[in-house]
Amino acid sequence: MPAHAETEPAELLLRVRDLRTWFLTDSGPVRAVDGVSFDLHAGETLGIVGESGSGKSVCAKSIMRLLDEPARIVGGSVEFRGRDLATLDDEALRAVRGREIAMVFQDPMTSLNPVLRIAKQLVEAMTAHGRFTPAAARTRAISLLRRMGVGRAEAAVDSYPHQFSGGMRQRVMLAMGFSNEPALLIADEPTTALDVTIQAQILELLRELNRDLGTAVILISHDLGVIANVCSRILVMYAGEVVEEGPPEQLLSDPRHPYTWALLHAAPRIDAEAADRRLTTIDGQPPDPRAWPAGCRFRARCPFAVAKCAEHPALLPIDEGRASRCWVTQEGGTLHTPARAPATAAPAQAPQPAAPLLEVRDLTKHFALPKQGYFSAPRVLRAVDGVSLSVARGETVGLVGESGCGKSTLARLVLRLHEPTSGTVAFDGTDITHAPQSAIRPLRRRMQMIFQDPYGSLNPRMSVGEILSGPLLLHGIVADGAAARARVAELLDIVGLPGAAAARFPHEFSGGQRQRISIARALALGPDLVVADEPVSALDVNIQAQIINLMVELQERLGLTYLFISHDLAVIRHVCDRIVVLYLGRVMEQGRAADLFSRPLHPYTRTLIAAAPVPDPRIERTRRHVPMQGEPPNAANPPSGCRFRTRCPAAQDICAAEEPKLRPGVEGQMVACHFPGVL
């Protein structure tokens, strides 16, 4: 935690006043940023949080004026060290960009030029401002890369971006950002595209750089946990304005704006077991940025709204260093902790001894990789390498792991969208491992899938009615078009969409609504097993909570069995009965969710849990931090012995020599480690 608060008030670096950035489109101005004011002192870490469309990214880009037509700063000022960047001429602004203010973007895959070597890009960034000679810049590039934690920096500097992983590229971006010793670094969702262990490394690096170099940081994220981890002050944005401001300790434990309150309670927590799987959600959607409502912009969705909210509140100070744009809290009202819906269904059902609905034994899937040379041996990628698991009827089993661990491939093998290389998949006692598609087709009614991408998983040329009635007619579940229409209306009602939605096309819906349609399609055939592949990872936290609630409710109503895939441990902990942890195509650990989180036996599980940020700095400080070193190895050429050994803090000689078997630990927990529970 940077300790600038206690020292002398530092130099005022950035003074943003009433900033308004609008998109001047043909159909009228879109008021993306509409009256944002804040101060930033030298060396401070400021977090800006909000859901997509809240204006946080546009706000950050406005500071450096990195705006494309039709976006334009139509009002307000951005004073940086006494100069107003909003009106500064282009040449003077270029001198500020990169030299005094640097920016790191979300997508490390596209923000580096793919045809230039890393060295060239770093050297150009430094020589552009005339502060370094090319030779000095190259030396500095190497030392910067080393500082950013890039291994073998002398060699790495001559690589091309595609030779680097996402996390490494983000380190290069940070090296570039810091190369001219800027006074301010703006990081726009710098870890959103990264795995949780890499995210933890990058956030740690950001904290260190801020502490050691005194560079002020503006960190933009949708994730309160990420923000709380790095920042000493938080701005919460909603509908183009700042609705709350304050230090994380107070803002996150005692929010004074209902929107902050909603953000906090909608997110599942990794550090506590929930009594109920339903999350607190708020209704509705953010207002239309073309026509913000009069009065408080959050009023329509606010569970605490009072009559006075018809008047637009100003951002008024409440305590020392805190401000909120809310009439309710300003007049002394409190935002009570949400009353959880009483758990109607008996919680924690005893595990049924019934035969498993899905039984997977020693499943492998090898993908052929392109040969490196004409005479070289064919290579295979062992995406799934000997995985066994079973899913009982009515149960939710979570599959968790970083990208490339084979969890999505496993989902597609289970549903026989891919054919396994070896092993067996049995669905309700029927072996479907190598069954032809014609034999599987009747079973498709009973096993369905929910997809990750709410934009790609619905055919854009088909109306929602066609999307939902297609499966019904194919399997002869309904006799004719009229019956299909009736069933479609029923399905839409089940997932909470109006009946009129049937006539509309996917592009007319928001991400959350599309995911509801995707769920309705999976339910159309009345399945027993639903495989959900990252069903909520593309959604904002409130929408995510709504979809989780819907899935939980449907499970209770229809007795569904879920195989739930996610990279997000908090979500997995929240919804799953049992959890399977995958690493490079192998099961590392499996067991009941509660046991796995309270007593992880495998070092990988332990590091994963430690890497996930918690949106409460006080808890974060008391949590165990197990540093995870390095990057996941190449899946095409996994390490000998235990696959995790290269990143394991507890690895010994035996780990390289001998692969540990998945053995029973305590109380049904299974772990593949030579030293279970050592961490």
Partner 1 sequence: MSGVAVPVAVPRPRPAAVRWLRRYGLAALGGAIILAWVLAAALAPWILSYGPNTVDVANRLKPPSAMHWLGTDALGRDVLARVVYGARISLSVGMAVVLVGGLFGTLLGAVAAYARGWAEEALMRVTDLVFCFPPIILAMAIAAALGIGTVNTVIAMLVVWWPKFARLARSLVLTQRSLEYVEAAQSVGFGPAHILVRQIIPNAVGPLIVLVTLDLGQAILVFAGLSFLGLGVVPPTAEWGAMVSEGRELVQQWWVATFPGLAILSVVMGFNFVGDGIRDWLDPHARTR
User: b/e for 563-591, b at 16 or more Cβ within 10 A?
Assistant: bbbbbbbbbbbbbbbbbbbbbbbbbbbbb
Q: How far is CA 123 from CA 5, 101, 157, in A?
A: 35, 17, 10
Per CB under 8 A, 35 contacts partner 1? yes
Reference 257, options 324, 197, 202, 210; nearest CA is: 324
**Helices 464-474 and 481-494: angle between axes, nearest 10 degrees:** 120
Number of residues binding to partner 1, judged by CB under 8 A: 48
Per CB under 8 A, 20 contacts partner 1? yes
Distance CA 188, CA 46 (A): 12
The least CB distance from residue 363 to partner 1, in Å, is 18
Per CB under 8 A, 456 contacts partner 1? yes
Selected from 1, 37, 39, 390, the binder of partner 1 by CB under 8 A is: 37
The least CB distance from residue 299 to partner 1, in Å, is 12
Taking CA 13 as the corner, what is the angle to CA 10 and CA 16, rounded to the nearest 5 degrees?
Answer: 130
Closer by beta carbon to partner 1, 461 or else 624: 461
Selected range binding partner 1 among 163-171, 419-427, 455-463, 601-609, rule: CB under 8 A: 455-463
The least CB distance from residue 132 to partner 1, in Å, is 38
The DSSP element (H or E) to which 595 belongs, if any, is helix 593-598
The least CB distance from residue 647 to partner 1, in Å, is 30
Selected range binding partner 1 among 3-11, 290-298, 494-502, 552-560, rule: CB under 8 A: 290-298
Closer by beta carbon to partner 1, 70 or else 134: 70
Closer by beta carbon to partner 1, 20 or else 643: 20
Per CB under 8 A, 25 contacts partner 1? yes
Per CB under 8 A, 26 contacts partner 1? yes
Which ranges of 16-101 does DSSP label H, i.e. alpha helix?
56-64, 90-96
Closer by beta carbon to partner 1, 301 or else 645: 301
Please give the structure tokens belonging to residue 492: 């839409």
Cβ neighbours around 5 below 10 Å, total: 14
The least CB distance from residue 121 to partner 1, in Å, is 27
DSSP state of 294: S
Selected range binding partner 1 among 114-122, 218-226, 450-458, 654-662, rule: CB under 8 A: 450-458
Per CB under 8 A, 386 contacts partner 1? no
Per CB under 8 A, 18 contacts partner 1? yes
Distance CA 535, CA 549 (A): 12
Closer by beta carbon to partner 1, 472 or else 579: 472
Closer by beta carbon to partner 1, 53 or else 149: 53
Per-residue x/- track, 479-518, partner 1 (CB under 8 A): ---------------------------------------x
Amino acid making up residue 489? A
Please give the structure tokens belonging to residue 602: 């495998």
Per CB under 8 A, 207 contacts partner 1? no
Q: Chain centroid to CA 47: how far?
A: 17
CB 304 within 8 A of CB 258: yes
Residues facing 235 on adjacent strands: 48, 245
The least CB distance from residue 241 to partner 1, in Å, is 9
The least CB distance from residue 517 to partner 1, in Å, is 11
Selected range binding partner 1 among 136-144, 175-183, 470-478, 612-620, rule: CB under 8 A: 470-478
Selected from 352, 459, 629, 640, the binder of partner 1 by CB under 8 A is: 459
Reference 649, options 675, 627, 676, 633; nearest CA is: 627
- Cis peptide upstream of residue 70 (ω within 30 degrees of 0): yes
Closer by beta carbon to partner 1, 211 or else 504: 504
Per CB under 8 A, 471 contacts partner 1? yes
Residue with tokens 């089993």: 397
Site for partner 1 in 57-116 (CB under 8 A): 70, 74-75
Site for partner 1 in 407-446 (CB under 8 A): 412, 415, 417, 437, 440-441, 444-445
Distance CA 405, CA 326 (A): 45
Per CB under 8 A, 29 contacts partner 1? yes
The strand ranges marked E within 506-655 are 529-533, 561-566, 578-583, 586-592
The least CB distance from residue 563 to partner 1, in Å, is 13
Closer by beta carbon to partner 1, 27 or else 637: 27
State phi, psi for 563 to the nearest 5 degrees: -110, 110
Torsion angle (degrees, nearest 10) of CA 597, 601, 607, 608: -50
What is the rounded radius of gyration, in angstroms, for the C-alpha atoms of the chain? 26
Closer by beta carbon to partner 1, 21 or else 210: 21
Residue with tokens 């334009």: 72
The least CB distance from residue 26 to partner 1, in Å, is 5
Residue with tokens 């959604």: 539
Closer by beta carbon to partner 1, 17 or else 623: 17
Distance CA 208, CA 547 (A): 37
Selected from 474, 558, 636, 657, the binder of partner 1 by CB under 8 A is: 474
Burial (CB count <10 Å: 0-12, 13-18, 19+), residue 299: buried
The least CB distance from residue 315 to partner 1, in Å, is 7
Site for partner 1 in 301-360 (CB under 8 A): 312, 314-315
Q: How far apart are the first and last CA of the chain?
A: 25
Instruction: Give the SS3 label for residue 390.
Output: strand
Q: Are strands 358-369 and 578-583 parallel, antiparallel or unpaired?
A: unpaired
The least CB distance from residue 294 to partner 1, in Å, is 6
Selected from 207, 308, 379, 475, the binder of partner 1 by CB under 8 A is: 475
Instruction: Give the SS3 label for residue 462.
Output: coil
Per CB under 8 A, 290 contacts partner 1? no
Give the HSE-up count for residue 530: Cα atoms under 13 Å, Cβ half-sphere. 26
The least CB distance from residue 35 to partner 1, in Å, is 6
Positions that interact with partner 1 (CB under 8 A): 18, 20, 22, 24-29, 35, 37, 70, 74-75, 292, 294-295, 312, 314-315, 412, 415, 417, 437, 440-441, 444-445, 447-449, 451-453, 456-462, 470-471, 474-475, 518, 521, 525
